[in-house]
Amino acid sequence: MNPHFSSPSMQAAYLRTLPAIRERCSKVHTLAQQGKLEYFDYNAAKESSAVDYCLEIMKRDFPTADGSVDFASIPPHGRWRHLDAGKSRIAPLMAKWDEDQRESPVDDKEKCRRLIDLFLVSVLLDAGAGNQWTYRESDGQIYTRSEGLAVATVHMFDEGLFSGSAAEPHRVDAQGLSRINETMIATAMQVSDANPMVGLSGRTSLLINLKSALESNPHFFGSDARPGNLIDFLESESKLEGSSRRVHVSSLWGVLLEGLALVWPARHSIGGVQLGDVWPCSALTMGGQAEGEDFVPFHKLTGWITYSLIEPMEKILKWKFEGIDDMTGLPEYRNGGLLIDFGILTPKPALKTLANNGVPCLPPSHGAIIEWRAMTIIELDRIADGIRGLAGVNSCELTLAQVLESATWKGGREIAKRLRPLTGGPPIEIESDGTVF
């Protein structure tokens, strides 16, 4: 049950919390069960087909000798996988830090700071690049979409593009970001008339805005204004139990929501507070509501950053994060596309009329996109539970982050390629400006 808020500021604060995402999306899901969505019909009976499909992918990619799933071998969903697409890049980069005498000695904390620097800018550059853009690495290997953006970012980082210090190229700081412009990003990402990228201007603006965010929050990002310094703030918020440092995920979430608020374009606000990736859902609108009662928060890129940054802190610093169950799935077109392609969601006439050659193309603010994303959040929980039920494991043995990595995101991509082989695109296209997806 969503709480009642006595002031706009309390409503705004609530909409920026992790629990609010699942709670508000659950309200949309309840309406779907009642057939009250504006743009989609919901067929829960189709969930079992999606669960079976996802489980088969997991058996294929993470098999045991007896043909079941080796759940312990499944990594969490995070940017690390994409940065290492096709071959290892992060391990050689870290090895270089141990060997390069030009830079200061690199202890585990500094290694972690550098990875956080890299992972953060890589996620900010990760919004959908479109169906045509590709990135060619020096060995001739070609990457597209999220992996292409990640590989490009590794090389940009390795070349010192985001650093303000020639002596310390492997970092991101406000001074380095102050030099960023669209032409620089286009060149680094091999964008041309023959190799167009969707949302180039928007993703460049996120990096420019990141400079301001880092400078405006020294308590999170330090006097030298770099993302990796957030580990020092989190350490002060953590507790040490024996040799293990325990950090609540809400602390990291708070740093990212508050500290990166200036990164996101101004959209909706309540009580003068910019909300970020939060949108009104017409299906929730009713008379006599308080301001914001029909808003649904997603914070997709913040969630993607959170999943991505937890991994290096756990691997390198051996920190343990608590409260991970509050994290939701990611409401983007691969996870959401799985639902439409398996018939869990079917477009109503109001959405079908918007289709062009069978695939609607809509802005993130459109009511159909809001419903789609809200349903994706809850259906990812349901699909994860379905997989666990069939496999006989619990949420500790198979986390939501592992399901996202090994099943739903990958499954959404594979079914899209099968059904739309010319583009491999989703069943609904998003008019991406590079700042949401």
Distance CA 116, CA 111 (A): 9
pTM value is 0.92
Total number of residues shown for the chain = 437
H helix or E strand, kind and range, residue 314: helix 300-316
Distance CA 116, CA 312 (A): 7
List 321's β-bridge partners, or say none: 247
Hey, where are the domains in the chain? 1-76+282-298+325-437
pLDDT in tens, 263-280: 988 899 998 999 999 999
Angle value at C-alpha 215, between 209 and 216, nearest 5 degrees: 90
Angle value at C-alpha 174, between 137 and 271, nearest 5 degrees: 115
Burial tier of 262 (Cβ tally within 10 Å: 0-12, 13-18, 19+): middle
pLDDT in tens, 118-163: 999 999 998 777 788 999 999 999 999 889 999 999 999 999 999 9
Distance CA 226, CA 288 (A): 45
Split at pLDDT 50, 70, 90, the class of 1 is: very low
pLDDT in tens, 392-430: 999 999 999 999 999 999 999 999 999 999 888 899 988
pLDDT in tens, 336-383: 999 999 999 999 998 988 877 678 889 999 999 999 999 999 999 999
- Of 408 and 244, the one with more pLDDT: 408
**Strand arrangement, sheet containing 320-322:** 239-241, 244-248, 320-322
Structure tokens at 375: 């349903």
Q: What is the DSSP letter of 63?
A: B
